Amino acid sequence: MTLDQATIDRLAAKPVPPQRLLIGGNWVEGEGEPVPVISPINGARLTELAGASAADVARACAVARAAFDDGRWAGLAPADRKRVLHRLADLIEAHAVELAVLGVRDNGTEISMALKAEPGSAAATFRYYAEAIDKVYGEVAPTAGNVLALIHREPVGVVGAIVPWNFPLMIGAWKVAPALAMGNSVVLKPAETASLTLLRLAELALEAGVPPGVFNVVTGQGRVTGEALALSPDVDVLVFTGSGATGRRLLEYSARSNLKRCYLELGGKSPNIVFADAPDLAAAAKAAAMAIFRNAGQVCVAGSRLLVEASVQEDFLEALAKATAALRVGNPLDLGTQVGAVNSLAQLEGNLRFVAESRAEGAEVVRGGARILTETGGYYMDPAIVARVAPSQRLFREEVFGPVLAVTAFETEAEALHLANATDYGLAAGVWTANLGRAHRMVRGIRAGVVHVNTYGGADVTVPLAGAKQSGNGADKSLHALEKYTDLKTAWIQL
């Protein structure tokens, strides 16, 4: 997959027609209010989504249930499902540039990152779980006497998936691919501000041979479409990536309906910890800038809290500010752009409020923190570095989900560990040190699902992403993700 500016510009000039819902293999109009799609690149209307009403969602869930019950997908031989998912991965790769450009127009991720992170990652994810289909199976238990105890793995039934706007195709694949691989039916609800690539994925899934009714997509407002999906008695498992507030509501909806299992990835306030003995402080400064500012800070695992040993804080801040100033913020469809657009005007305004509040509380805004490129009509922010942020301040404790970095100094390893764990979140972390013993102590001591050492970011579908504390439960990626989409059944057979 390669990019050239002329191809990007040609694809970006294509009009995007109004979108519809996919229910039972048919593209249908929604009964709810259409949702305008505003591009963060220029603030202009790009197209509109169909608004799925509660009745639309009920139909999608009923269709998914019927498709599961009649075995059109779950009843296929594992090798047959495997072939279909491999064809889907092939189609994603064949349309990768188209998908990447469409996604950037929708959510503002810089194109140089989007190609790999969205269609590239999605294709790899579908291939990984396609290969797992015929390699994950049941067990024979070591029982005593004349008993044969078999442990079967069975699909759960209907999976409802609600995915966010920052990396919709990547995160959507993390949910949809393992669910389909295990034989489930899926009803997918994308985010209002980033649905287009997932609707295109659904088209490709039909083309690849996923039977009608097995993969359905309903778009619309969370308070209508998402709520109806979470309340549906036809949904057996609900998977979600997004905010803690929405995650809490989904748990309530589960309790009010059929006690469906809910697996939630709820973001983080991840510490990136730099000790004075880091192997290369200049390299650490550049990595720290990208750990928070890529995709305009709209990354679940972003290193949004920088904890720096006090003896090197001033030098490190200088290097960090220099690395940040060198980043090119602009049109995310430009290959030279390193930091794209903020997803929406509401998100941008929230980011700016965090900076203003921190300044009023006595923190030092080292650089950035203002809206820029207003002449474009788009939603762009100068990456902000806010130093001397106290643990009591909201910027230290709460997720911004924007290009705003909170910097706090520490004196000792014990203090660094205490500060790292001093939030309600536990999704990711980074540690920079040349001391192997310290690195291991920090990995053990930090309560987070992933801890990077002398790097930040980078992962693979073979390893799980799982949160601790209020960052959620369950795991995306790796074979461990399959546990969310299968039930265990024991056969106890007297011989």
Active site residues: 265
What residues contact residue 229 under an 8 Å CB cut-off, 6+ apart?
A: 57, 61, 160, 162, 187, 189, 218, 235, 238
Choose among 133, 137, 180: nearest CA to 159.
180
Give Dmax (Cα) for the chain.
79
Asked if residues 363 and 386 have their Cβ atoms less than 8 Å apart, the reply is yes
Phi first, then psi: give them for residue 467, nearest 5 degrees: -95, 160
Of 277, 339, 375, the residue nearest 114 (C-alpha): 339
CA distances to 56, 57, 95, 259 from 224, in Å: 10, 9, 32, 20
* Cβ 403 vs Cβ 246: under 8 Å: no
Sole residue written with tokens 């998908």:
99
Tokens of 233: 């008695």
Residue 393, token pair as written in the block:
């301040």
CA 179 from centroid of its chain's CA atoms: 16
- Sign (positive or negative) of CA dihedral 116, 122, 128, 130: negative
CA distances from 238 to 40, 326, 410, 423 (A): 29, 42, 40, 26
How far apart, in whole angstroms, are the C-alpha atoms of residue 102 and residue 108? 10
* Token pair recorded at residue 28: 């249908």
